[in-house]
């Protein structure tokens, strides 16, 4: 069964690119350009979540979504990666409980290797 990945980014071009990259590797990909709630994410049966930090929705950032998911569902071990051009991304990832981060622009091979290691 294919591993299921949720990607949330407000940039449609990035969403399409990442969707194609992951689908070519055999992943089941769900994409979204809006903030999602922790409860909604929980019911998707995910193996990995990839979040941009800055989203157009002014009420929730990717870091907020990550923090909400990790604190409301500590029993769920779904890894979260921040994929962003945000300065000090390592600090943002650490503060929200993300399992990792990768800066934009990203190397496709680095992204795939990172994801493969987390969903293995």
Q: For 41-78, how does the pLDDT look when each residue is reduced to its tens digit (9 = 90+)?
A: 888 999 999 999 988 766 789 999 999 999 999 999 99
**C-alpha–C-alpha distance, residues 93 and 96, integer Å:** 5
Q: Which domain holds residue 57?
A: 4-119
Instruction: Please give the average per-residue pLDDT across 34-38, as a whole number.
Output: 75
**C-alpha–C-alpha distance, residues 41 and 18, integer Å:** 19
Only one residue has tokens 């981060």, namely 101
The CATH number that applies at residue 33 is 3.40.50.2300
The pLDDT assigned to 37 comes to: 74
- Total domain count for the chain? 1
């Amino acid at each position: 069964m294919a591993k299921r990945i949720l990607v949330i980014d407000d940039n449609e071009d990035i969403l399409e690119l990442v969707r194609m990259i992951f689908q070519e590797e055999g992943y089941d990909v769900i994409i979204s350009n809006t903030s999602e709630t922790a409860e909604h994410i929980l019911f998707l049966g995910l193996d990995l979540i990839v979040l941009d930090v800055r989203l157009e929705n002014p009420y929730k950032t990717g870091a907020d979504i990550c923090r909400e998911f990790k604190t409301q569902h500590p029993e769920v071990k779904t890894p979260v990666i921040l994929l962003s051009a945000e300065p000090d991304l390592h600090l943002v990832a650490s503060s929200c409980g993300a399992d990792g981060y990768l800066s934009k622009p990203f190397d496709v091979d680095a992204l795939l290797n990172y994801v493969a290691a987390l969903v293995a």
